[in-house]
Amino acid sequence: MRFDLLPVILACASLTSATITYTVQKAANPTSDQADAYTRIDAAMKLAVARYNKLTTRPSKSITAQYVPGVATADGNFNGNIRFGSDRAYMTERTALHETAHTLGIGQTAAFDTRCAANNWPSATKLLQSWDGASAKINCGGGHIWPYGLNYETEFSETNANRHCQLIDAMLADGLAG
């Protein structure tokens, strides 16, 4: 083995990052309401995807974001679809991060349900405990997690958003996607 190549290999391995992409599905001739929503959704998704891609290594997902006025808040599906409703208060990075987690498996897979029931998140629990102490655990309910699930706008901070991405990445390592 050529040991002189080892630093190069390690440097390349450390540069590996997630590859989450998104598109905002748009009407051909949007109304002013639709155009405003598309601008807000695009800004929120751009921030969320950039954060996931910067802080994680495991996720790989192509997301389609839609404006669907009849949706009460927003929802994400494991198939890669995120729908934002007409309430502009949910067209935020926090919501986009939270819904992206659903596209990665939070509340969407049998593995999520099984691992939640058994509290079987070895990598993610270790990471969580490094932040919050030895008694910290991942709580699950109603297809969501806490802490760091970013379930409410009041939970958003730079630290919490970063930890959210890192925790989802660790949960993926533990088998979240099934």
- Residue 21, strand partner residues: 62
pLDDT, mean of residues 47-73: 97
Q: Can you tell me the distance from the alpha carbon of 26 to that of 104, in angstroms, rounded to the nearest whole number?
A: 23
Contact (Cβ atoms closer than 8 angstroms) between residue 129 and residue 168: no
* Residue 8 clears pLDDT 90, i.e. is over it: no
Beta strands in 33-158 (DSSP E): 60-67, 74-76, 81-84, 139-141, 144-146
Percent of the chain whose pLDDT exceeds 90:
89
* pTM passes above 0.85: yes
Distances (CA, A) of 22 to 57, 82, 104: 17, 10, 13
Q: Can you tell me the distance from the alpha carbon of 48 to that of 100, in angstroms, rounded to the nearest whole number?
A: 8
* Residue 92 clears pLDDT 90, i.e. is over it: yes
For the stretch 135-174, pLDDT in tens is 999 999 999 999 999 999 999 999 999 999 999 999 999 9
Q: What is the mean pLDDT of the chain?
A: 92
Q: Can you tell me the distance from the alpha carbon of 33 to that of 58, in angstroms, rounded to the nearest whole number?
A: 36
pLDDT, mean of residues 97-123: 98
pLDDT, mean of residues 124-141: 98
Return the pLDDT at 16. 62
Return the pLDDT at 124. 98
